[in-house]
Amino acid sequence: MPTETNIPKISGPIYLNKRTVVLFIIGIIILILLLSLIGIDKVWNAMSKLDVRILLFLIGLQVFIIFLHTLRWAIVLYNKIKNKEISFTSLFLATSVGLFSGNIVPAGSFVSEPIRAYILSKLDNFPMAKSFGSAIINLNLEILPVLLFISIALYFVLVDEISVYLVLLLIIAAIFVGILSLVSFLSIVDRKRALNIATFLINIFSRFSFLKKRMSETKTKIGGIVSEFHDGAKYGLNLKIFGLGTIISFIIWFFSFLRLYIVFIAIGYNIDIAVFVAVLVVVLIISYIPTLPGGIGIWEVSSIGLYTLFGVPSEYAAAAVIVDRLISYWFVCLFGYAALIIAYKRINNKNMNTTL
């Protein structure tokens, strides 16, 4: 006789709502207009200087970066992996899907963690709240590296006297990241505060008619959900885990910066390191603002615009940014979508097996 299972069947890889598709198209149009303004032929001539072997190396580097993202999460959940409650393969699939989802919706940085937590919970029957708690800790491990890179960029800008506007942007960015980290930390260590934040978010989501019923059901269980969330989040409060995870975050950001720097060198432009770091950090913070999916269009315009403003020829700035985005955005989308297809097939196979 079939046994009950609480794992819902996933009917397909993913479907985007109309609003997201429209925003995505707007981003593409912005990008095309920018390239037309600079001169597509000029940009292509600069891009064509990139050796195919270097491009393949950079793609391999991006896969390694995805692996590092997975390794950082695995450190947070080390005891669960050690006890074989979850597998590294599931973490890798969930991480890839999370990065993909963060690229295709506005405010992707805040959406990717719940998505990867959901995928992991379904792949290995790991409680969703605990999975989400560990994913939030995983996200928090990026805070110190980001603050450090903001400080380095601020130092370069002040020493080289690049621009007072960049100084103000970097200071605002540091304050923004600092507040975000404080709120996140308090929600983790203070169960009551976490409950208040969760209730506040539920009340906001309840205003949407299609979520009202689900939020009403969630509200009755919120105490247990927050409790499980803390069980998952407490792993990151271990100093050894926090230290190792933060080190991996530094390495992830270093390789992410290195990827773009290599592109500049490969197309024949030796960019000033101060300008390179300052602009990249500012654009990174801008990308956290919920605008277009994955910052498509906005990332390119702000990057190319700032590099050009500080002396980089527009065709070289555009060529480097476009190549880097082909790897860090479009390749990650394809890679993550493939991971999503594999993940949903595994989940559905598991559903079939549990009902036999």
Residue 294 dihedral angles phi and psi, to the nearest 5°:
65, 15
Is 14 a domain residue? Answer: no
Is 11 a domain residue? Answer: no
Is 138 a domain residue? Answer: yes
Q: Residue 149 class from Cβ within 10 Å (0-12 exposed, 13-18 middle, 19+ buried)? A: buried
For residue 76, what are its two tokens? 């947070």
User: Could you tell me which residue, 337 or 145, shows the higher pLDDT?
Assistant: 337
- Residue 94 belongs to what domain range? 55-348
User: Could you tell me which residue, 1 or 113, shows the higher pLDDT?
Assistant: 113
Is 22 a domain residue? Answer: no
Is 284 a domain residue? Answer: yes
Q: Degrees (nearest 5) of the Cα angle 248, 249, 251?
A: 65
Confidence of residue 59 (pLDDT cuts 50, 70, 90): very high
Residue 122 confidence (pLDDT): 85
Q: What is the mean pLDDT of residues 236-258?
A: 84
Q: Degrees (nearest 5) of the Cα angle 250, 185, 181?
A: 55
Residue whose tokens read 């919706």: 105
Q: Are 61 and 266 in contact (CB under 8 A)?
A: no
pTM here is 0.77
Q: What is the mean pLDDT of residues 146-173?
A: 74
Q: Are 250 and 145 in contact (CB under 8 A)?
A: yes
> Quick check: 16 pLDDT over 60?
no
Among 9-18, 125-134, 231-240, where is mean pLDDT lowest?
9-18
User: Could you tell me which residue, 264 or 33, shows the higher pLDDT?
Assistant: 264
Is 45 a domain residue? Answer: no
Confidence of residue 266 (pLDDT cuts 50, 70, 90): very high
The string of pLDDT tens digits covering residues 71-85 is: 988 888 877 777 778
User: Could you tell me which residue, 338 or 284, shows the higher pLDDT?
Assistant: 338
For residue 332, what are its two tokens? 């990650």
Nearest Cα neighbor of 54 from 44, 65, 43, 62 is 62
Q: How many domains does the chain have?
A: 1
User: Could you tell me which residue, 169 or 196, shows the higher pLDDT?
Assistant: 169
For residue 218, what are its two tokens? 């969630």
> Quick check: 96 pLDDT over 90?
yes
Nearest Cα neighbor of 255 from 50, 61, 57 is 61
CA distance linking residue 125 with residue 83, whole number of Å: 14
Q: What is the mean pLDDT of residues 27-55?
A: 86
| Amino acid at position 243, single letter | G
> Quick check: 99 pLDDT over 80?
yes
Is 34 a domain residue? Answer: no
Is 2 a domain residue? Answer: no
